[in-house]
Chain A
Amino acid sequence: MPKIKQARVGIKMDMTPMVDVAFLLLTFFMLTTQFKPAEEVQIILPSSHSAFKLPETDVMSVTISKDNRIFLGFDSQRMSGRIFGEENKLRSSIEVTTKELPDMLIRARIANPKLRTVVKGDADADYGLAEDVMNILQKTNITRFNLVTDMEK
């Protein structure tokens, strides 16, 4: 007598919740990702044990490159446009001289008084230039600023 053929159990999994979660995560990551703007120069940061984090908005950065050039940059295009002119709006930072710097710092502070200044110096930049920059900051009444550093390994 032939055996009764057992019906195959088709495995059906409801993947809808998983896909929902995947899309949720996708939107989260897409919205929170801020692509790092292309830097004018590459900076190798000195390392420290400091635990302060860089503020996210209203940042004005004074970059000192390895070959002893100074760049001034803002985190918002609106500010860059106001200080450097509309044609340079999209650039992340612009090279400035120590002579131009005080004037630009003052104008930027007038445009946005909440601006926080960060000094981003290359580890191998000359201290002399960093000293000059700090003196300029002090002269323009920016007495509180942050030095950007890397995590000490």
Chain B
Amino acid sequence: MAGMDSGDAPRGHSKKKKKHKRMRRLGIRIDMTPMVDVAFLLLTFFMLTTTMNRPQTMEINMPPENTTVEVPQSNLITLRIKDDGVIYWNIAEETPQKVEYKDLRVLMTQKVQQNPKLITLIKVDRKGKYHMMVDIMDELNLANITRFSLAPMLDADKQVLAKAAS
């Protein structure tokens, strides 16, 4: 068991110590049960509190400032997200069409299959919520579109949307 004890005196020494008064060796026994109990308690505590997972991240590489890439309009699909989270999409100068968030992935996959050179431009309203952008990026990543650009939504875009909505 968990304990220590010193054994009997070694046999060989008995003759040498003849003259001394023979001391009775005390068997030292330490009860380790409480220590082991505490150790197990701490172990369970640390095991339960440790969270092994670290948060996920999405890596984003932005082009350095002042780089412009010329893209023909026909290869440009614009996703505009209004402040209430409604998504509109259009290619080139077409009138924006509404698309449900759940249908976005299918739509994007189709469009990229039709035209692999398609470049995605995301415009989110400043009054929108941060999670909208992350959601859209996530959907694009799931649709295997890893290259896209973010652009600010200008008043002109809002007018286009207002026209499309009416």
In the bound complex, how far is the Cα of B41 from the Cα of A23, in angstroms? 11
The listed residue (B43, B56, B130) touching A151 by CB distance below 8 A is: B56
A98 to chain B, nearest CB (A): 14
A127 and B138: CB pair below 8 A?
A: no
- Enumerate chain B residues within 8 angstroms of A148, measured Cβ to Cβ: 55-57
The listed residue (B54, B65, B127, B135) touching A126 by CB distance below 8 A is: B127
A105-134 vs B, Cβ < 8 Å mask (1 yes, 0 no): 000000000000010011111111111001
B1-18 vs A, Cβ < 8 Å mask (1 yes, 0 no): 110000000000000000
Kindly specify which of A1-9, A27-35, A77-85, A87-95 makes contact with the partner chain: A27-35
Number of A-B residue pairs at CB separation under 8 A:
149
B37-55 vs A, Cβ < 8 Å mask (1 yes, 0 no): 0011011001101100011
Q: Which residue of B lies closest to A15 (CB)?
A: B2
The listed residue (B1, B62, B129) touching A123 by CB distance below 8 A is: B129
B92-133 vs A, Cβ < 8 Å mask (1 yes, 0 no): 000000000000000000000000000000001111111111
B60 and A147: CB pair below 8 A?
A: yes
A62 to chain B, nearest CB (A): 12
- Enumerate chain B residues within 8 angstroms of A141, measured Cβ to Cβ: 64-65
In the bound complex, how far is the Cα of B64 from the Cα of A146, in angstroms? 16
- Enumerate chain A residues within 8 angstroms of B126, measured Cβ to Cβ: 126-128, 131
B63 and A143: CB pair below 8 A?
A: yes
Q: Is A137 part of the binding interface, using a Cβ–Cβ cutoff of 8 Å?
A: yes
A101 to chain B, nearest CB (A): 16
The listed residue (B46, B57, B61, B127) touching A53 by CB distance below 8 A is: B57
A46 and B57: CB pair below 8 A?
A: no
Chain B residues within 8 Å of chain A by Cβ, number: 42
Q: Is A48 part of the binding interface, using a Cβ–Cβ cutoff of 8 Å?
A: yes
A147 and B134: CB pair below 8 A?
A: yes
Q: Is B86 part of the binding interface, using a Cβ–Cβ cutoff of 8 Å?
A: no
A48 and B129: CB pair below 8 A?
A: no
In the bound complex, how far is the Cα of B56 from the Cα of A33, in angstroms? 19
A53 and B130: CB pair below 8 A?
A: no
B141 and A145: CB pair below 8 A?
A: no
Q: Is A76 part of the binding interface, using a Cβ–Cβ cutoff of 8 Å?
A: no
Q: Is A13 part of the binding interface, using a Cβ–Cβ cutoff of 8 Å?
A: yes
B residues near A, CB below 8 A?
1-2, 32, 36, 39-40, 42-43, 46-47, 49-50, 54-65, 124-135, 137-138, 141-142, 150, 152
8 A-B pairs with least C-beta separation: A128-B126, A29-B46, A146-B57, A123-B131, A46-B131, A48-B138, A46-B134, A127-B128
Known: A126-B127, A145-B59, A147-B134. 13 other contacts (CB 8 A): A46-B134, A47-B134, A51-B56, A127-B125, A127-B128, A127-B130, A130-B130, A144-B60, A146-B60, A149-B55, A149-B134, A149-B138, A152-B138
